[in-house]
Chain A
């Protein structure tokens, strides 16, 4: 079964740090780009960032709201994706989803497999 399982969500004080993890199973993790998408309570979806695969040098992209504070990394040997979050703000409070990116030959990138999310709360 294709699956993504996130972990690491917690209650953190403003200015603090936290690392989220996502473990993939049921597919060749190393082949795929991976995204993080978040959803604040009762709000819409916000793309956080992307990490490409080894063939594309593990390069990353970030939303402006997190650039310089968040870092996405991966360990293909462990089928794992990470999101290191520093200088956390109250507005970072959200459910964080780990998402597989599927690239079609047409050049379209589809967010086709989603985890169930892990909750980060930033509050004093």
Chain B
């Protein structure tokens, strides 16, 4: 199975900060990577697919990059509503696997 490792596991930042979350795959996955946001008590929401394509309706302050084994999710100017847990997910190979999550506190 492909292991997805996110870092950091948690972070605290302030409104207006730029933050970056990293996701590393245990083997190459091309760009078959997505990012999800989950707020407490809610279902996850897809933010990015194909490593860098923003899902419709997602604010442009979110961006993704990477290919192969190393990927990043960047939030350019943090807003209070961005407080959530973020997950990466690979779908290059079955079984599909998620990262362990990064908890972002504003």
A61 interface residue per 8 A CB criterion: yes
Is the pair A111, B34 in contact by a Cβ cutoff of 8 Å?
Answer: yes
B98 interface residue per 8 A CB criterion: yes
Interface of A is mostly: strand
Is the pair B55, A112 in contact by a Cβ cutoff of 8 Å?
Answer: yes
Query: Which of B44, B55, B85, B95 lies at the interface centre, i.e. has the most chain A CB atoms within 10 A of its CB?
Result: B95
In the assembled complex, the Cα of A50 lies from the Cα of B34 at a distance in Å of 17
In the assembled complex, the Cα of A24 lies from the Cα of B31 at a distance in Å of 29
Partner of B43, one of A35, A109, A117: A117
Is the pair B49, A104 in contact by a Cβ cutoff of 8 Å?
Answer: yes
Give the size range of A's interface with the partner: 20 to 34
Is the pair B98, A46 in contact by a Cβ cutoff of 8 Å?
Answer: yes
B97 interface residue per 8 A CB criterion: yes
The interface of chain B, by Cβ under 8 A from chain A, is: 1, 32, 34, 36, 38, 43-46, 49-50, 53, 55, 85, 87, 89, 91, 94-101
